[in-house]
Amino acid sequence: MIPGVGAFGDGMENAGPFRERLVDAAADGTPILGICLGMQMLLTSSEEADHAGQGEVRGLDLVPGRNVRFRGDRKVPHMGWNELSVERDHPLVTGVEVDDGASEARRDDGAASGAQGTEDAAAGGPVDGGSVDGGYAYFVHSYYAEPEEPNAVVATTDYGVEFPAIVADESGNVMGTQFHPEKSGETGLRLLRNFVDICASR
């Protein structure tokens, strides 16, 4: 697991001694989960290092792409609860509803609806206990990922622009969440339980 709060350049500097080990682990099929800055570090590079005057700072390049800053008139950083929309199936979002036209149900515990999640979020956070699709997660970030491959996007969120909330590499064992699952109520707990299950299955 690669947690992180802070700047991309500092994060990569701190990860420097472990870069080779992380890349080898990913190649060996070891499950890796990046959280917030940790997810951004999975990508190839970030505008943040450029904006900080650090020049080109190389990410882990486990999910090819670049992190870019929010533009437009929305307040930055993006901070608070926001809704998740699952774009494709992945073990990290097991038990969710994927909107594939038929709204195929993949829940396994009778989760509450997205509308209920909205009410719960307004009351201070989601307590739906199941579905990640339409669930709410807690974000704190100024930059977001732009993966090179569209299929790297597992779930999205909208903040003036639709951006990846969950990404995964082609093999599926390297994954990241832009939000903080540990601060995201039942939605976050579901994802963390799923990650534990992924680790146990390897």
Residues 155-171: tens digit of each pLDDT: 999 999 999 999 999 99
Q: How confident is the model at residue 8 (pLDDT cuts 50, 70, 90)?
A: very high
> Would you call 51 a catalytic residue per the annotation?
no
Q: Which residue is catalytic, options 20, 36, 90, 141?
A: 36
Query: What percent of the chain has a predicted confidence (pLDDT) above 70?
Result: 80
Give pLDDT, residue 94: 85
Task: Please check whether residue 150 lies inside any domain of the structure.
Answer: yes
Tell the residue number behind the tokens 């073990």, with chain if given. Answer: 91
Closest CA to 85 of 155, 16, 25, 26: 155
Is 3 within a domain?
A: no
The reply to whether 144 falls in a domain is: yes
- Averaged pLDDT score across all residues of the chain: 84
**Catalytic residue check, 199:** no
The model's pTM: 0.81
Task: Summarize pLDDT for 100-154 with one digit per residue, the tens.
Answer: 432 333 333 333 333 333 344 434 443 333 456 678 999 999 999 999 999 999 9
Residue 75 burial (CB count, 10 A)? 10
pLDDT at 125 (0 to 100): 44
Domain-located, residue 55 = yes
Torsion of CA 189, 191, 193, 199, to 10 degrees: -150
The residue ranking higher by pLDDT, 103 or 175, is 175
Q: How many residues does the chain have?
A: 202
Mean pLDDT, residues 67-87 taken together: 94
CB within 8 Å of 58: residues ≥ 6 apart:
12, 44, 45
Is 1 part of a structural domain of the chain?
no
Task: Identify whether 31 is preceded by a cis peptide bond (ω within 30 of 0).
Answer: no
Q: Is residue 174 assigned to a domain?
A: yes
Is there a contact between 35 and 177 (Cβ–Cβ < 8 Å)? yes
pLDDT of residue 116: 38
| From 170, 182, 186, 199, the catalytic residue | 182
- Domain range holding 110? 8-201
Structural domains of the chain, count: 1
Question: Is 182 assigned a catalytic role?
Answer: yes
Catalytic pick among 47, 51, 146, 180:
180
When comparing pLDDT for 50 and 92, which is higher?
Answer: 92
Q: Do the bridges between strand 32-35 and strand 65-69 make them parallel or antiparallel, or are there none, so unpaired?
A: unpaired
pLDDT tier, 98 (very low <50, low <70, confident <90, very high otherwise) = very low
Whether residue 2 lies inside any domain: the answer is: no
What CATH number did the domain enclosing 30 receive? 3.40.50.880
Write phi, then psi, for 54 (nearest 5 degrees): -95, 0
| Structural domain contains residue 192 | yes
